[in-house]
Amino acid sequence: MLGVHESDPQTCFFFLPEIPSGPKRALLCELNRLVDWTFVRDLARPFFTAEGRPSIDPVVMVKMMLAGMLFDFESDRRLVDECADSWAITEFLGYRPGESLPVHSNFTNWRKKLGPDFFRDALHQVLEQAAALGMPLSTSRSVDGTSVKAQAGKQGPKIEMPVGLDPVEYVEQLFAGEVQPADPQQEPTIPVNLHDPEARLQRKKGETADFRYCASVSVCTETGLICDATATPREQAATAVEHVQHDPVGVTEIALDRLYDDGEALGALQAENVTCYVPRTNHDKPGQLSKDEFTYHADVDEYECPAGQRLRHMRYDKKRKQHFYVALQAQCRACPRKAECTPAQRRSVSRADSEPARTAAVRRGLRYDELKTRRQINEHVHLLGKRDHGLGRARGLGLDAMCIQVCLTALAIDLKKMVRWTQMQRAEAQAQRARFAEIGQMAQRAQEPIRALFFALRAGLRQAVGGLWGARRLSGSTFRPTPA
């Protein structure tokens, strides 16, 4: 049964000394004022029955998890200790001083019960509330991922798994004796850590190889708010399609880096009526002419080389979904540009089934340059997550735990951006009122000489009229009508 914790923070702290007001309490009080947390109960209601013993209030659980991300408490045990010792967090939760808080084991059970989709929907609900506050959300997004160190290390127990299989199922079947261990000499394999099978051994430039996940976020290019967040075993182009399909606002433009220059992913994005801005990936081999210098003729399904010779269709690779076109050896032998075209006897060119989608992507222009600059906001968001909100290392085992951590980190970043935006709006409104007051005072000071001159003229006019009227009365003149 879904539980509801009812308490009024105003009465909870009425008989206590005044709570010290610092940056932490100011942030939490502002979050309670800005955010309507009842959506948490609505999202959690399907996970509970209508009868039975009341549970812990899901609002309290989500608020405590957010407090752990906002202030970077690295474990659930420390989170409970900090919440019990901090009056600011206790006030944020709506608890009375001395009231028992949830224990650290509750968080593991709740995360497993609710799942990553619950926290992803919570991120979307907060985003809608930010839009309702007046934060301008555009329909252009920037998608990028960053690697996160997994709990498992490369020094742990590892096995080799054939490429393309589900790691969790393979490990279960291996321990049950249903499959034989893979032999790397006979088939391509990848290493899998038995403690965390869903993590992947990978490295980027400047990093050492280790088991990692990829935290991927979709960021609004105008406000920097995180519109969607998820985690994958490794960074892949299909994640951009998932972000667009889960975006609560809608996407019309998306800025990507070279890794996302994948024909299938770009085709799926264009099917969603999304304009893709992505740099072209260079697949040309050194010592040969670029494929961009060859012209494709769709009516005859042939390529034309810069020298005017035709490359005809030779074969189709179903596994790679690519067509291959080759020229005649006699034509290449007699071509004056063969030395710079290819070192082989004849030139061949490949064309993927998704080549039209790559051709339709925007590679240059003013808007491309603008979004290329704004795409750097993803690097800033990744920096905030790793520096301030504990995204430098996974806090749990498995992909679901990583997805929940990424969503909670995105929630913490968005909530702080909401508070900062409202403070800026409040400061701007106060400055505008001060400017209006100053303009009014300046106008009043400018009107004082005019008003003094007006009153002086009015007093002189009254005095002159009064003198004429008095002189007329003393002379005894009266008004007499002229006889007809």
Residue that the structure tokens 């407090």 belong to: 67
Quickly list DSSP for 191-258. Answer: EEESSSTT-EEE--TTS--EEEEEEEEEEETTT--EEEEEEESS--THHHHHHHHH-SS--SEEE--G
pLDDT for 202: 87
Query: Which residues are within 8 A (CB) of 27 and not within 5 positions of it... i.e. 6 or more apart?
Result: 70, 416, 419
**What 3-state class would DSSP assign to 352?**
strand
pLDDT value at residue 468 = 62
Distance separating alpha carbons of residues 199 and 157, to the nearest angstrom: 13
Residue in 201, 124, 157, 216 with CA at minimum distance from that of residue 411: 124
Distance in angstroms (rounded) separating the CA atoms of residues 13 and 8: 9
Which amino acid is present at 121? Answer: D
Round to whole Å and give the CA distance between 97 and 95: 6
CA angle, residues 350, 354, 355, in degrees to nearest 5: 55
The CB-based long-range contact list for 461-470 (8 Å cut-off, 24+ gap) reads none
Q: What is the pLDDT of residue 15?
A: 47
Q: What are phi and psi of 160, to 5 degrees?
A: -100, 130
Distance, C-alpha 335 to centroid of its chain:
52
- pTM (predicted TM-score): 0.82
Q: Tens of pLDDT along the chain (484 residues)?
A: 677 776 655 555 444 556 667 888 889 889 989 999 999 999 999 988 888 888 888 999 999 999 999 998 988 999 999 888 888 888 888 888 777 888 898 999 999 999 999 999 999 999 999 999 888 889 999 999 999 999 888 888 888 888 878 888 888 888 887 777 787 777 888 888 888 888 988 887 777 888 999 999 999 998 899 999 999 998 999 999 999 999 998 899 999 999 999 889 999 999 999 999 999 887 777 778 888 888 888 888 899 888 888 899 999 988 888 899 999 888 888 888 888 888 888 888 888 888 889 888 999 999 999 999 999 999 999 999 999 998 989 998 999 999 999 999 999 999 999 999 988 887 877 777 777 777 777 767 776 777 777 777 777 777 776 666 565 555 555 445 555 4
Task: Quote the CA–CA distance of 241 and 260 in Å, as a whole number.
Answer: 10
Q: How far apart are CA 479 and CA 477, in angstroms?
A: 7
- CB under 8 Å to 70, separation ≥6 — which residues? 27, 389, 412, 415, 416
3-state secondary structure of 403: helix
Is residue 352 within 8 A of residue 263, CB to CB? The reply is yes
As beta bridge partners, residue 316 has: 323
Instruction: Choose among 6, 33, 5, 9: nearest CA to 415.
Output: 33
How far is 418 from 135, CA to CA, in rounded Å?
A: 8
Residue corresponding to tokens 């944020």:
92
Among all chains, which residue has been given the structure tokens 């985003």?
A: 127
Q: What is the pLDDT of residue 380?
A: 92
Provide the residue type at 205 as one letter.
K
Residues in the chain: 484
Please give the domain boundaries of the chain with CATH numbers for all domains.
9-114 (no CATH), 140-156+195-278+361-407 (3.30.420.10), 291-352 (no CATH)
**Both tokens of residue 406?**
């990424």
Q: Which residues pair with 219 in a beta bridge?
A: 142, 226
Q: How many CB atoms lie within 10 A of CB 474?
A: 8
Q: Which of 60, 158, 151, 172 is nearest to 405 (CA)?
A: 151
* Residue 442 parent element (H or E): helix 399-475
